[in-house]
Amino acid sequence: MVKNKKRLFCLVLTSILTAITVVLSRFLSINIWNMSIGFSFVSVMLCGMLLGVFWGGICGGLADLVGALLFPFGPYFPGFTATAFLSGAVFGLIGYFAGKEQKRTTFILLAVSLLVLKETVCSLLLNSLWISLLYGSPFTAVLISRIPLSAITLVLEVALAIVLKEFLIPKVRKEL
């Protein structure tokens, strides 16, 4: 019975955070041709760090799918959904390390490494590739234009991961 309660809790929390992500990404962000400026990653990161790799991935992927189907900015492309799933899974992996007893600097190095990898592979390479394929734009031009926003997002994600690990994750995990 306890296992079912935990699954139900994960399902409900993931649903709520997915809905918040859709609202943040579709209504409270600025969308420019090949970039989105907003804080929709916050709820996906929270889901991943609290519930793990699987639920973080589900939250990211499902939020992209629901947002694209209900409030489209352009044609639906499944590559963006796959990338959103991978990003959420990486946030879950960071949450796994946040739950381990370790020095603060060790966690920061792990989080920075994983977020640099996520930002490089998912946001820069994959999303630039999807935009290039979808709109027929030169890949290199799309990639270069996305670098400044990716750098800013990386800094924000690292800061948020540290804050969540220090103040929120330990308190919430005690309750789970």
Distance set, CA 43 to CA 133, 138, 141 (Å): 28, 32, 30
Domains of the chain: 2-175 (1.10.1760.20)
Q: Could you report the per-residue pLDDT of 88-135, keeping only the tens digit for each?
A: 999 999 988 887 877 888 888 999 999 999 999 999 999 999 999 999
Q: Name the amino acid, one letter, at 37.
A: I
Which pLDDT does position 11 carry in this prediction?
96
pTM of this structure: 0.90
Quote the DSSP letter at residue 108: H
Which pLDDT does position 73 carry in this prediction?
83
Q: Could you report the per-residue pLDDT of 120-130, keeping only the tens digit for each?
A: 999 999 999 99
Q: Report the alpha-carbon angle 26-113-63, nearest 5.
A: 20
Q: How many residues does the chain have?
A: 176
Which pLDDT does position 125 carry in this prediction?
96
Which pLDDT does position 119 carry in this prediction?
94
Q: Give the relative orientation of helices 41-51 and 139-163 as an angle to the nearest 10 degrees.
A: 50
Which pLDDT does position 144 carry in this prediction?
94
d(CA 59, CA 65): 10
Render each residue's pLDDT in the chain as its tens digit; 176 residues. Answer: 578 888 999 999 999 999 999 999 989 888 776 677 888 999 999 999 999 999 999 999 999 999 999 998 888 999 999 999 999 999 999 988 887 877 888 888 999 999 999 999 999 999 999 999 999 999 999 999 999 989 999 999 999 999 988 888 777 777 76
